[in-house]
Structure 1
């Protein structure tokens, strides 16, 4: 039986898996998603390559576990930023700020690069889509601002909101100052809101 470095086999398994996820993140942050291979992560952790598959089924699964570490906290932080705000205008601005804050903390381009590199579980793909689409938060806030009915420009305004935040993601990925990027995106979004419904809504 292999020697374990923990009081129980389960704890040993959890420790090694955590070390594998740490190593995978380190490798991808420094070398890009393509640098993650079974050989590279096994070497980083100090286990035999074939032992890797006692902890994960594939390198894609390991990539997904790294994403799982970052995406749920991202989405929870954005939800928390929006929660409790009765004013729809403030919810839109909080949603944009929350996403940009998380992109600055976690590295949007790095996370999206992981997602593009290989197969991911469907749940993770939905969570990635939520980062960009804003789930129902953006649409709901715009509906409230625009009033009853279904204004013809609802879809356009929702798309513009997403695109402004995506532009902020791109500038953060390019290395621009996070504070300046956030300020610029929020000013642009506020201008769109004010132009459509007025500054007092």
Structure 2
């Protein structure tokens, strides 16, 4: 029987789950998605692989749970950044700045990992839902600016930011890449 180091079994499980997610993220950042396995995650925290399967059913499940943990944080950051600005141009710029800052955060390793594995359809569907929460603040801004098709315009804006993220991740000079991207984004999204 494993030793429980918490007031309750539920507290112990929550602590173990958090430690496993943290270990999984460390592996992704340090060694890439190919190194992420239930056995590697368990080894990082001192649990047998069979014990890890109490928390995750597979590597795809580990990734899915990491995404469930990370995307709400980024969605909150995006919503907070855009809520504090006056005028659509300032709000679009704030959205763009936060989106581009994602590249320098360890969570960006999730994006690389997600493109390298085939997720089960239910995981892909949930990822699509979560992705929409990231775009929602931009959709709201362009709707308020008077676009007839705010969803399409917001997704096009997201594509512009995605290309800038790709370039930044590949080593592009951050200042001109960011300033040019934000200028293009504002021109493209404001009627």
Alignment TM-score, normalising by the size of structure 1:
0.76
Deviation at 1:67, TM superposition (A): 1.7
Residue matched to 1:173? 169
Instruction: Give the Å deviation of 1:166.
Output: 1.4
| Cα deviation 1:69-104 (Å, max 9, x = unaligned) | 221111110111111444222222222122112333
Q: Say if 1:3 and 1:130 are closer, same or farther in 2 by CA, change over 3 A.
A: closer
The residue number in structure 1 matching 2:31 is 31
> What RMSD, in angstroms, separates the aligned Cα atoms of the two structures?
2.9
Change (3 A) 1:26 1:158: closer
- Tell me, yes or no, if the aligned pair for 1:28 and 1:35 is still in contact at 8 Å: yes
Structure 1, unmatched stretches of 5+, are none
Tell me how far apart the structure 2 counterparts of residues 162 and 90 of structure 1 sit (CA, whole Å): 16
Instruction: Provide, for residues 24-60 of structure 1, a one-character-per-residue CA deviation record: whole Å limited to 9, x for no partner.
Output: 1111112222221122112222111111122233332
Match of 1:128 in 2: 131
Instruction: Find the aligned partners of 2:164 and 2:152 in 1 and give their Cα distance.
Output: 18
1:15-94 pair list within 5 angstroms: 15-94=15-94
Shift of 1:170: 0.6
Q: Is 2:111 aligned against 1:112?
A: yes
Cα distance in 2 for partners of 1:155, 1:58 equals 34
2:157 paired with 1:161: yes
The corresponding residue for 1:183 is 179
Conserved 8 A contact 1:19-1:45: yes
User: TM-score by structure 2 length?
Assistant: 0.79
Relative to structure 2, which stretch is displaced further, 183-192 or 61-70?
183-192
Instruction: Give the 3 Å change call, closer, same or farther, for CA 3–79 of structure 1 in structure 2.
Output: same
Is the deviation greater in 34-43 or in 97-106? 97-106
Say whether the 8 Å CA contact 2:24–2:41 is kept in structure 1: yes
